[in-house]
Amino acid sequence: MKEIILNHPLIEHKISILRRKDTSTKEFRELISELAMFLCYEALRDAKLETIEVETPIASTKGYVLNEDNYAFVPILRAGMGMVDGVLRVMPNAKIGHIGLYRNEETLEPVEYYCKLPKNIENKTVIILDPMLATGGSGSEAISMIKKRGVKKIKFLSIICAPEGIERIEKDHPDVEIYSAYRDSHLNDNGYIVPGLGDAGDRIFGTK
């Protein structure tokens, strides 16, 4: 498994603002979107390009373009929706799917309630979006759901990850690449990332 953590002063700066409990809903959303854009940029480093001819105002030259139809973003509802605008700034014509999972508060295991994926998903590189990779249960389940549709190449983008979540994905899906803006220290007894930033979904949508 390949795990990439974005070590950069600008990331550290934005994560610190994101963590503050008094950061406004508006600013929180904007920061999640910006960090998602940075993560997507890094995750597409191995993207294959097609050669085209380009006419500049001065001369003809070779150009290189990405076939955006080869990619699909799949946010895990609902917090993953906060990352969609950011990744679409990088690849505006990519297809979007949705996976709905909620965590059973007693077992901490995911429960599926919705799955809608683009056509020909098996031929695309799928990039799963979830701001918090905590226990890894929802992430692992989402990956399994996508693999059942025949998808061969999957990447996972999270803003904050915990070692427990990384270990779960590595155990269940060693072929999946994980990209995170920051790796925190551990989970508490309730399965929340420490120090974390609280419930990302509630903070994105202002529901608490």
Choose, from 19, 78, 103, 149, the residue flagged as catalytic.
Answer: 103
Output b/e per residue, 126-145; b: 16+ Cβ within 10 A: bbbbbbbbbbbbbbbbbbeb
Vertex 140: Cα angle to 14 and 206 (nearest 5): 40
Q: Rounded mean pLDDT of 100-128? A: 88
Residue 103 falls in the annotated catalytic set? yes
Please give the C-alpha separations between residue 103 and each of 16, 141, 159, in angstroms, as whole numbers: 26, 11, 19
Q: Report d(CA 110, CA 43) in Å as an integer.
A: 25
Give me the CATH code for the 3-205 domain, please: 3.40.50.2020
Residue of 78, 85, 89, 202 marked catalytic = 202
pLDDT in tens, 143-189: 999 999 999 999 999 999 999 999 999 999 999 999 999 999 999 98
DSSP letter string, 13-62: HHHHHHH-TT--HHHHHHHHHHHHHHHHHHHTTT--EEEEEEE-SS-EEE
13, 73, 203, 23: CA torsion to nearest 10? 20
Residue closest to 158 by CA, chosen among 188, 124, 174, 135: 135
What pLDDT does residue 104 have? 77
The residue type of 61 is T
pLDDT value for 1: 62
Report, as an integer, the average pLDDT of 132-142. Answer: 93
Catalytic residue check, 85:
no
Exactly one of 61, 107, 175, 207 is catalytic; name it: 107
Q: What pLDDT does 42 receive? A: 95
CB 4 within 8 A of CB 42: yes
The share of the chain scoring above pLDDT 70, in percent, equals: 99
Q: How confident is the model at residue 58 (pLDDT cuts 50, 70, 90)?
A: very high
DSSP, residue by residue, 74-134: EEEETGGGGGHHHHHHH-TT-EE-EEEEEE-TTT--EEEEEEE--TTGGGSEEEEE-SEES
Dist. CA 142–CA 176, nearest whole Å: 12
Q: Which of 19, 89, 149, 199 is catalytic?
A: 199
Question: H or E stretch including 165?
Answer: helix 163-172
- Identify the pLDDT of residue 108: 67
Average pLDDT over every residue of 34-56: 95
Give pLDDT tens digits for 3-34.
999 989 999 999 999 999 999 999 999 999 99
Q: For residue 71, count CB atoms less than 10 angstroms from its CB and return exposed for 0-12, middle for 13-18, buried for 19 or more.
A: buried
Mean pLDDT of the chain: 94
- Over residues 85-100, the mean pLDDT reads 95
Active site residue 56: no
Confidence of residue 105 (pLDDT cuts 50, 70, 90): confident
Per-residue confidence (pLDDT) for residue 208, from 0 to 100: 72
pLDDT band at 51 (very low <50, low <70, confident <90, very high): very high
